[in-house]
Amino acid sequence: MGAGQEENIVPMSTNWSEIRERLHDLREEHRDLDDAIEQLQLNPATDQLKLRRMKKRKLRLRDQITYWESKLIPDLDA
């Protein structure tokens, strides 16, 4: 299991409202990060390493959002 994946494990006792709340928080962080990246890109003197790290964080957030969204969708093959 890779770094950060253990936080994506859904226990059987997980409340669906907790998943929705987690999704809301992740989406909000993703949106805030997107705004911050956009502002940094307007400045030509921006630290490119910082910008790359922020973009990677944004991608990790998108992956987590996709994961948690999949937990809310019922398994139609079951």
- Going by the DSSP 8-state scheme, the letter that residue 5 receives in this structure is G
Q: Are 22 and 68 in contact (CB under 8 A)?
A: yes
pTM as predicted? 0.74
Residue 37 CA to residue 32 CA, distance in Å, equals 9
Average pLDDT, rounded, for the chain: 85
Residue among 1, 17, 4 at smallest CA distance from 60: 4
What are the two backbone dihedrals, phi and then psi, of residue 4, each rounded to the nearest 5 degrees? 90, -10
For 40-71, write each residue's pLDDT tens digit.
999 989 999 999 999 999 999 999 999 999 88
Residue 63 tokens read as 């992956």
Portion of the chain with pLDDT greater than 90, in percent: 63
Average pLDDT of the residues in 17-45 = 95
For 2-19, write each residue's pLDDT tens digit.
455 555 555 555 688 899
For the chain, the structural domain boundaries read: 15-72
